A and B are shown apart, each in its own frame.
Chain A
Amino acid sequence: MPLAPKLDAASAAKNLDEVKPPYAPQEALVEANRCLFCFDAPCIMACPTGIDIPSFIKKIATDNVVGSARVILSANILGASCARVCPTEVLCEGACVMLDKEKEPIKIGRLQRYATDHVFNNNIKLFQPTKKKVGKKVAVIGAGPAGLGCAAELAQMGYDVTIFEKREKGGGLNTFGIAYYKMKPEVSLEEVALVESLGVEIRYSVEVGKDISVEELDKKFDAIFLGVGLGDTQKLGIPGEDAKGVVDALEFIEQIHTQPLHKVPVGDRVAVVGCGNTAIDASTQSKRLGASHVHVIYRRGEKEMPAYDFEYELAKSDGVEFLFNTLPLEVLKDNAGNVRGMKLAKTRVAAGKVEVIPGSEYEEVFDMIIPAVGQEKQKSWIQKVFPKLEIDKKGVIINDPQTKQTSEKKIFCGGDCANGGREVVNAVGEGKKAALGIHNFLMGEKVDSEVQPSRHGLKEGRPTGSGLRNPVRAPELEEAYFSTNGNGNGHKKA
């Protein structure tokens, strides 16, 4: 059976409505007042972009919501989307001292959304393009979270920044690849507009290496930032994968973002292959779009699953079924070339390796297969366009973890192409780090307070609070700091 839309517009909109609705003012006030306003709060240290979380929460508690949003967005220009998509349970909220009191952590993500929504919904302008120009130009390749994070930071430091984006819209994953019930693409596009309002030029539908050459970039710009993310979803590598009804997970999610919800074709019995967070997103969204049965197929067990626990719980509560220790062997097709099912086998893990249990093969009926087994690195594109750039075996660009500088001195990188695939907030944080690295490279100015294990006890004369612009968390540097300052920063009264 060919895929077809299953729901009318109203039902589709209702089913894919936000799972976490925004706080009402009174709810936000109550939650904000629960925050202890820790000194040297561990939530700040757990945030890859170093947002001063207690400060922004305190401002919500005093009804200074605009000031709260300024704290958030000046540390993380994508604060509105991070409020929705960050795995807060394992980042800021996971570090909340309330957990030590055996209490619910402060709902930092939802408060962050409350503050950032306020300025976007009321069209409040928090930032002006900086007047103090440094007279240097930087090219940013890719208008995803890393590129936007880097561009915003550089623009605020006075650089002329041009972003080259091959798509017709910016935001990258945030615009095209986040589950619809977590974030609407409009939020991401508002953030792109915010970055542009800082004076950043974004040139859409321009692919570097095709529409503009690297030589040209090299001539016109003083430094280049690469934030090209990841490529297409990896192939399953099994027979029948070309059947009609096999839809790549990212492509499926992108369809949800680029056409009316009730026109997105979906199967009745859907198999999602893989068990990462993208697989979960695809499974819950196909269920919410009207599939009657959705199975997540994973060759390893429940414990090895890479998806976060809370994502797994969400999928289960949506009625998604999980087939663990199951390996797809072949996509079965009908005469018309449509998916009719899959041949599967049970597996076991021996010495870390997955092996098929002999004789366990069976067939299951499906009409849609969504592969979500990880994304390809941009290896071939990088090798073609930047042949001198060093990449590792996995296709990740080799870079200095502190400055994000690559083997080519002029080129910096961040985000998925530099870390192999992590969270949006990591990409923004790396973009910021790279901005400071570029500043150091071009101006010879060492950036202060990259190492910020505590806002207290910084050396005299150094900025306290929000670093140069804002602190960037660098665990590898903190380790070094502590190994040379073993006694910490305790001080004796004179």
Chain B
Amino acid sequence: MADLSINLAGIKSPNPFWIASGPPGNTGYQCERAFDSGWGGVVWKTIGEPIVNVSSRYSALNYGQTRMIGLNNIELISDRSPETNFKEIYNVKKKWPNHAVIASLMVDTRERWHEFVQRSIDSGADGIELNFGCPHGMCERGMGSAVGQQPKVAETIVGWVMEAASGKIPVIVKLTPNITDVTQAARAAKRAGGNAISLINTINSITQVNLDTFVPEPYVNGQSSHGGYCGPAVKPIALNMVQSCAEDPEVQLPISGIGGISNWRDAAEFIALGSTSVQVCTAVMHYGFRIVEDMAEGLSNYLDSKGFKSVNELRGKAIHSLNRWENLNLNFKRVAQIDYDKCIGCNLCFIACEDGAHQCIDLVSPNGQGLGPGRLPGKPIPQIRQEDCVGCNLCSLVCPVDDCIEMVTIETGRPFFSWKEYQTKLAKGEMQPIPPHP
């Protein structure tokens, strides 16, 4: 059994699974239920000046029969008083000394930041997360993503926080994805002395328009507002941003990964791209705290199967497999190959290649080949012309059968040759341009 425990900038937790700041981490009651279920840490719903929320607040993107592949919200930070929140943190920490409780904070002035950092320390919280991300409501008051979108402002505020926190409590800076280059904000956090970063916060979004009322959701008295987008749909964006920060030499801070993490596979991917802990919110809002049982077991089994002794050994394994496009090998070739024992004849590969890609698949009459049970005579079957296949993967992606279309590597016999080298050789006149595709 691999060791799942982690230490992120001094915040220790029995496993890397934390509840992200949001509705599931709103109260001491929920926090204890989370720990009871097996979560390693909870980032408390952001504490600040209590706010007043609107109704309704959430809207979702459904796809096919899958509900909530994306969720957005126009909910603000905690609507409970800081006294109540800090008191509950104190009580939870007394009962659960080995689990991580992180106070998420969002206030405005230097004095307020000093005050709230001190109150967090007094409550016994294991760390602080600075909410520089919420893209709605609070940013209009000069907080949330309004801060996160301006590295200089973020740097100043992290500086204020560190004046009170440095050496006393670890500080995680939570970054907004609503920015052109997330590494700029991460570098600002580093320059100001922040101990870690967490990303991503929610993405500005409109999930759906009600086509009867012409009011986007969520509905608030005939109007709506842009909301923060999260859930499985945002995972690819989050992974990209996590990797960008993890490989940036000017950042080099521990990372808590957030964004569409719903199961152990998602968690493992975030960890492999550099995350130390992973934060989950939407999946808990969908299914409850119980999902962590499978997450922990699944990750543990995966680590064992790979021979990793601890979750730390997985961390960052995939960061450096991602390179700039100009360094990729132009001479590498993969082509699609159909396993006719598995092909069910839906011909989705054919039409995808024909209309959406490079016209390298023919439909051929069966001649006995490829006919499965229940097939009608005359049913055409797909046949790949591998000499024309550009290896785009599309057919294998649309194929509904596991391992039916495989991408196989073709030995070209040509040496490694990148775009960068190509440009260099062209400039030196060492070679002729490669002719364009016919």
A binds B: yes
Tell me the A residues contacting B by CB distance below 8 Å. Answer: 29-30, 33, 36-42, 45-46, 61, 94-101, 453-454, 456-457, 478-479, 481-482, 485-493
Q: How far is the CA of A457 from the CA of B373 in the complex (A)?
A: 25
List 7 interface pairs A-B (beta carbons < 8 Å), by A numbering.
A100-B344, A101-B344, A486-B365, A487-B364, A488-B366, A490-B365, A490-B383
A39 & B344 in contact (Cβ 8 Å cutoff): no
Least Cβ distance of B376 to chain A in Å?
5
Q: How far is the CB of A478 from chain B (nearest CB, A)?
A: 5
Do A488 and B363 form a contact, CB below 8 Å, given A40-B347, A42-B345, A97-B346?
A: yes
Range, interface on chain B: 20 to 34
How far in angstroms is the closest Cβ of chain A from B375?
7
Main secondary structure of the interface of B (DSSP, over half): loop
**Do A45 and B346 form a contact, CB below 8 Å, given A40-B363, A485-B365, A488-B365?**
no
Q: Which of B179-222 contact A (CB under 8 A)?
A: none
- Determine whether the beta carbon of A30 is less than 8 Å from that of B365: no
Known A-B contacts: A46-B376, A457-B380. Give 8 more (CB < 8 A).
A33-B65, A41-B346, A97-B345, A100-B373, A485-B365, A488-B366, A490-B362, A491-B362
Interface check B51, CB cutoff 8 A: no
Are A38 and B365 touching (Cβ within 8 A)?
no
Task: Give Cα A30 to B64, complex, Å.
Answer: 8
Whether the Cβ atoms of B363 and A489 lie closer than 8 Å is yes
Chain B 356-392 residues near chain A, CB threshold 8 A? 359-360, 362-367, 372-380, 383, 385, 388
- With a cutoff of 8 Å between Cβ atoms, the chain B residues found around residue A479 in the complex are 377-378
Shortest CB–CB separation between residue B383 and chain A, in angstroms?
7
* Separation of A432 and B128 alpha carbons in the complex (Å): 74
A97-B344, A100-B344 known; A42 vs B376 contact (CB < 8 Å): yes
B residues in contact with A94, CB < 8 Å: 374
Q: A38-B347, A95-B374, A493-B385 are in contact. Are A101 and B379 (CB under 8 A)?
A: no
Report how far A40 CA is from B351 CA in the complex, Å: 9
A97 to B342, CA, bound (A): 11
Q: Cα distance A61–B62 when bound, in Å?
A: 12
The yes or no answer to B350 lying at the interface (CB within 8 A) is yes
B380 touches A37 (CB 8 A): no
Cα A46 to Cα B354 in complex, Å, equals 25
Q: Which residues of B contact A487 (CB under 8 A)?
A: 364-365
Name which residue of chain A comes closest to B362, CB basis.
A490
Within 8 A of A (CB), among B383-403: 383, 385, 388, 400-401
Whether B374 lies near A99 (C-beta < 8 A) is yes
- State the CA gap A111–B363 with chains docked (Å): 29
B-chain residues with CB within 8 Å of residue A95 when the two chains form the complex: 374-376
Question: Does B318 make an interface contact (CB < 8 A)?
Answer: no
Closest Cβ of chain A to B415, distance in Å, is: 29
Bound-state Cα–Cα, A46 to B379, Å: 11
Q: Are A478 and B350 in contact (CB under 8 A)?
A: no
* CB atoms of B345 and A100 under 8 A apart: yes
From 328 to 363 in chain B, residues with beta carbon under 8 angstroms from any chain A beta carbon are 344-348, 350-351, 354, 359-360, 362-363
| Pairwise interchain contact B376-A39, C-beta atoms closer than 8 A | no
Docked Cα-Cα span, A491 to B292, in Å, equals: 52
A454 B363 Cβ-Cβ under 8 A? yes
Of the residues A36, A61, A100, A488, contact of B380 by C-beta under 8 Å: A488
Interface contact B378-A482, CB-CB below 8 Å: yes
Which 4 residue pairs of A and B lie closest in terms of their CB atoms, listed nearest first?
A488-B365, A100-B344, A490-B362, A490-B364
User: Would you call A493 and B388 a contact (CB within 8 A)?
Assistant: yes
Chain B CB count within 10 A is highest, among A39, A95, A493, for: A39
Specify which of A29, A33, A100, A453 is in contact with B374 (CB 8 Å cutoff): A100
In the bound complex, CA of A29 to CA of B63 (Å): 11
In the complex, what residue of chain A is closest to B358 when comparing beta carbons?
A: A493
Nearest CB on B from A50, distance (A)? 13
Question: Shortest CB–CB separation between residue B381 and chain A, in angstroms?
Answer: 9
Q: How far is the CB of B196 from chain A (nearest CB, A)?
A: 41
Min CB distance B337 to A, Å, is: 17
Q: How far is B346's CA from A289's CA once the two chains are assembled, in angstroms?
A: 44
Which chain A residues border B362 with CB–CB below 8 Å?
A: 490-492
Q: Which residues of B contact A46 (CB under 8 A)?
A: 376
- Cβ contacts under 8 Å, A482 to chain B: 365, 377-378
Which residues of A have CB within 8 Å of B350? 39, 456
- Taking CB as reference atom, which chain A residue is nearest B400? A36
How near does chain B come to A195, taking the closest CB pair, in angstroms?
A: 30
Residues of chain B within 8 A (CB-CB) of A36 are 346, 348, 400
Chain A residues whose C-beta falls within 8 Å of the C-beta of B374 in the assembled complex: 42, 94-96, 99-100
Query: What's the nearest-Cβ distance from chain A to residue B305, in Å?
Result: 27
Residue of A at shortest CB range from B385?
A493
- A485 and B350 CA atoms in complex are apart in Å by 20
Which of the residues A40, A41, A99, A478 comes within 8 Å of B377, measured between beta carbons? Answer: A478
Please name the residue on chain B nearest to A98 by beta carbon.
Answer: B344
Q: Residues of B contacting A100 with CB < 8 Å?
A: 344-345, 372-375
